[in-house]
Structure 1
């Protein structure tokens, strides 16, 4: 008899990576709503550049920003169910973070265009996340293909 859910031993490294990234995003989303972990919590705004709340005292957040982290994390947990979905989550999600990094570089942080909001620390974190997610998705999917392709003589 087979079960509907797969044990963690049955998951590929690619799926485990997507699951771990998703879990981290869920955790970050939750932490953004916790006073003390988020400095200036009383100034946490719904959205926009005027939210002065700082996750870990460094990364500018808002209610919208925290919700996006939560949703992005839940997506990672759900998409980790299959190797193909896990790869797509990491590669496409990484590309989204690269676009967000570029967006953060191009906008005026004190303007209405900074609706997420982001600051300089967020921008560079988005670059590292984007590159890291893409690298994980590509490296682990190529390892998986190579490991499952039988060699014949």
Structure 2
């Protein structure tokens, strides 16, 4: 905290004011930053042998990539890059209330579209370029519903009711 003196009616009379240089994140900003950080970590983890099984069989894109994050979720170089970019976007957009809410809602819509894509496109098809499998599809649906719900219901005000950085 920093105090300064403002001149009042005349010399020697001053009013003390207090300024705070601390910026406060609202709940929606905190949630968007947390979601962005998780995507960033998942993108990094996708490039770590051991965390990603069959790492040596990872391809740039396509269903022929045999690499699986945590032995469960199909990944490729493209898939990992998408997670990294999504994470960076989440962290950047979390700086404002509107950006945070937009990231959560529109990011959720993107994951809903990805879930539909995974449900419609056969897993062994060339169209499955991301790639996705059954575990990915369920995860994408959960992410879609969770992100949209958080984007709609996470408060954009501080506890006292003041709105921070729009």
What are the ranges of 5 or more consecutive residues in structure 2 without an aligned counterpart? 3-18
Counterpart of 1:139? 153
Deviation at 1:136, TM superposition (A): 0.5
Equivalent in 22, 37, 59 of residue 51 of structure 2: 37
Measured after TM superposition, the shift of residue 144 of structure 1 is 3.5
Q: In structure 2, what is the Cα distance between the partners aligned to 1:119 and 1:52? A: 11
Name whichever structure is richer in helix by fraction: 1
2:65 maps to which residue?
51
Which has the larger Rg? 2
Corresponding residue of 2:7: none
Counterparts of 2:153 and 2:142, CA distance in 1: 16
Where do 5+ consecutive residues of structure 1 fail to align? none
Per the alignment, residue 6 of structure 2 pairs with: none
Decide which of 63, 67, 85 is 2:77's aligned counterpart.
63
1:52 and 1:6, CA in 2 relative to 1: closer, same or farther beyond 3 A?
Answer: farther
Residue in 1 that maps onto 2:89: 75
Distance in 2 separating the partners of 1:72 and 1:50? 23
Specify the alignment match of 2:134 in structure 1.
120
Distance 1:113 1:78, change over 3 A: same
Match of 1:13 in 2: 27
Q: Using the TM superposition, give the Cα deviation of residue 148 of structure 1 relative to its aligned residue in structure 2, in angstroms.
A: 4.7
Q: Report the equivalent of 1:88.
A: 102
**Runs of at least 4 residues off by over 4 Å:** none
Displacement of 1:6: 5.9
Structure-2-length-normalised TM-score:
0.82
Taking the aligned partners of 1:148 and 1:92, their CA distance within structure 2 comes to 25
Aligned length: 145
Partner residue, 1:129: 143
Q: Describe the SS at the equivalent of 1:34.
A: coil
